[in-house]
Amino acid sequence: MSTPLEPASDTAFAEFAPAPLATAVAIIDPDDPPWGVLAGLFVWLASIVLMILAYVLVVVPYVLLTRGASVSGQTPESLLADPNLTLLSVASVVPSHLATLLLVWAVVTNLGKRPFFRTVGWGWSPRFGLWTSAALAVLLLLFGGVLMYFLGRDVKTPFDEMLESSVQARFATAFLATATAPLVEELVYRGVLYPALRRAVGMFGAVVAVASLFTVVHVSQYYNNPAVIATVGALAFALTYVRARTGRVLPCFVIHLVFNGIQCALLVYEYFFPLPQQPAGTQAGLFAALLPWPF
């Protein structure tokens, strides 16, 4: 005779609970990323190389065609002042930014094997929300405005000259400085590079290193105006320090977006409503000169 089977207790199958994936996701720490310093530095360097490569692929053919046109009579000096060339240089940033975003996604998710937003730290901190981020951006902009007023308002940078080259360059720059630049730069610097360096050299060393790299990359457009460089440096330190204290990238993105967005709004406004005795479209503006634009 067979022995009757007794029902198992409620706890008999507890050890087989199918939750390893949920547990793995729950312990993701944006300050302890699954990539190392070499990967972080590679993403940072690749973002610069991609921008240079896109510039060369877009601008060089135009220069060659223009020089080859017998009726153009272009000289190197006139090419540098060519508004079409300036517009192409701005437009070349779009494909480089898209390629950089794809690279960031590949590193952060390991080609789709990890959740992107949770791994990179894309979220709000209880101590640092939307309005705090926006307020800090305004304070940084006011700080830069004061520096510009006293130390750099009469100095025209290469970036100012680019903005004044054509209305197309002005509006294209305003679009890119709000639509793609804050997102790409925050993901590269504060999303990928910072946490990798933090694990290797600690919070202080990582903040200094990332802020310095961010500032140096932007120097080429403002080398003759220390007030702008100082403002970009202050922005870089503030963004990286916020990332260090909150463990999140989203507040940094909002700060960067508001900082750029206000300037771009003024940039467009000053084109249609120039200052007294200034022709339309010829004044970059006090605040617009502070845009951290890396090309």
Answer whether residue 26 is part of any domain: no
Mean pLDDT on 136-143 = 96
- Predicted pLDDT at 39: 98
Beta bridge partners, 125, equal 128
Mean pLDDT on 32-60 = 95
Contact 226, 255 (CB under 8 A): no
Is pLDDT of 7 > 80? no
- Residue in 16, 15, 31 with CA at minimum distance from that of residue 206: 31
Answer whether residue 14 is part of any domain: no
Helices (H), 148-192: 158-163, 167-179, 181-185
- Residue in 210, 170, 222, 203 with CA at minimum distance from that of residue 186: 210
What are the tens digits of pLDDT across the range 185-204? 999 999 999 999 999 999 99
Task: Determine which of 30-34, 41-45, 58-62, 176-180 has the lowest per-residue pLDDT on average.
Answer: 58-62
Is pLDDT of 11 > 50? no
Mean pLDDT on 71-86 = 62
Q: Is 98 exposed, middle or buried, given 0-12, 13-18 or 19+ CB atoms closer than 10 A?
A: middle
Backbone angles phi, psi at 225, to 5 degrees: -135, 95
Buried b / exposed e across 133-154, counting CB within 10 Å, b at 16+? bbebbeebbebbbebbeeebee
- Predicted pLDDT at 16: 46
Rounded distance between C-alpha atoms, residue 56 and residue 96, angstroms: 11
> Which distant-in-sequence residues (6+ apart) come within 8 Å of 177 by Cβ?
260, 263, 264, 291, 293
Answer whether residue 264 is part of any domain: yes
- Predicted pLDDT at 35: 97
What is this structure's pTM? 0.84
Please tell me the chain's helix, strand, coil percentages from 3-state DSSP, rounded to the nearest 5: 70, 0, 30
What are the tens digits of pLDDT across the range 238-262? 999 999 999 999 999 999 999 999 9
Answer whether residue 240 is part of any domain: yes
Give the CA angle between residues 263, 231, 189 to the nearest 5°.
90
- Predicted pLDDT at 4: 53
The 3-state DSSP class for residue 190 equals: helix
Is pLDDT of 231 > 80? yes
| Higher local confidence (pLDDT), 279 or 213 | 213
For 81, what's the count of Cα atoms within 13 Å in the CB-facing half-sphere?
5
* % the chain with pLDDT above 70: 79
Q: Which domain holds residue 107?
A: 33-290
- Predicted pLDDT at 90: 87
Answer whether residue 5 is part of any domain: no
Residue 172 DSSP symbol? H
The 3-state DSSP class for residue 285 equals: coil
Answer whether residue 250 is part of any domain: yes
Beta bridge partners, 128, equal 125
Is pLDDT of 13 > 70? no
The 3-state DSSP class for residue 128 equals: strand
Is pLDDT of 284 > 70? no
Answer whether residue 17 is part of any domain: no
The first and second tokens of residue 256, run together, are 């960067």
- Predicted pLDDT at 63: 82
In the block, residue with structure tokens 């940094």: 252
- Predicted pLDDT at 164: 80
Answer whether residue 260 is part of any domain: yes
The 3-state DSSP class for residue 75 equals: coil
Report the number of distinct structural domains present in the chain. Answer: 1
